[in-house]
Amino acid sequence: AQSVSQHNHHVILSEAASLELGCNYSYGGTVNLFWYVQYPGQHLQLLLKYFSGDPLVKGIKGFEAEFIKSKFSFNLRKPSVQWSDTAEYFCAAENSGGYQKVTFGTGTKLQVIP
Amino acid sequence: DTEVTQTPKHLVMGMTNKKSLKCEQHMGHRAMYWYKQKAKKPPELMFVYSYEKLSINESVPSRFSPECPNSSLLNLHLHALQPEDSALYLCASSPTGRGGDEQFFGPGTRLTVL
């Protein structure tokens, strides 16, 4: 069955620390991959996505993610977090082609301490 | 206008009631989605409409009935719900519904079934 795993459920970092959130997917065939973020009291919104080309993808607010096909991974990184990055982060995946049917991971709550 | 709106924000209903959730977008998107999100869980896809036609139904019980009157509106009709249906119901839209699209999410309707 298709699935997305996020192993870090709750991460606490101090400001200026580096961030890496893990995401692994289990899909047959070609996949499109996404990271969505939900800031407190706000809607889910897209941080970045990968569907082809350069496996290192840059998104908004200084975030980036690397697609490593051999490891079925799409980890999210940021070199220096800010208090405003406190949010819940969801990795998501879908099979390429056809109608969009996205599966979300369980989410990682990031708390950044000033 | 890059917003997806959902009404009502909160809904409390009994198991014998009939109610409807409404979702609207004016971004010209041709795909719209319903998700269900239980507490501390990721969003789970329920239905996808593409060009006003139901393209995906994730084996949702018939007590949930979606409707897409036009490309801007998406309704979810509720009838004879169970307490376990209590959840946050999220609506989203995307430009085409094809793979790789960014989905734009609304704030959700928090449903409580008594």
CB B90 within 8 A of CB B43: yes
pLDDT at A16: 97
- The CA distance from B92 to A87, in Å, is 20
pLDDT at B113 > cutoff 80: yes
Which distant-in-sequence residues (6+ apart) come within 8 Å of B13 by Cβ? B19, B78, B81, B111, B112, B113, B114
Q: Is there a contact between A100 and B105 if contact means CB atoms under 8 Å apart?
A: no
Is the predicted pLDDT of residue B1 greater than 70, yes or no? no
Contacts of A97 in chain B (CB under 8 A): 98-99
Say how many CB pairs under 8 Å bridge A and B: 61
* Mean local confidence (pLDDT), B5-20: 95
Q: How far apart are CA B82 and CA A104, in angstroms?
A: 24
CA distance A65 to A85: 16
Q: State the pLDDT at residue B57.
A: 86
Q: Show residues of chain B in contact with A105, CB under 8 Å.
A: 42
Model pLDDT, residue A95: 85
Question: Which tokens in the block code for residue A95?
Answer: 């099979």
Count other C-beta atoms under 10 Å from residue A107's C-beta: 24
Query: Is the Cβ of A44 closer than 8 Å to some Cβ of chain B?
Result: yes
Distance from CA of B16 to the nearest CA of A (A): 31
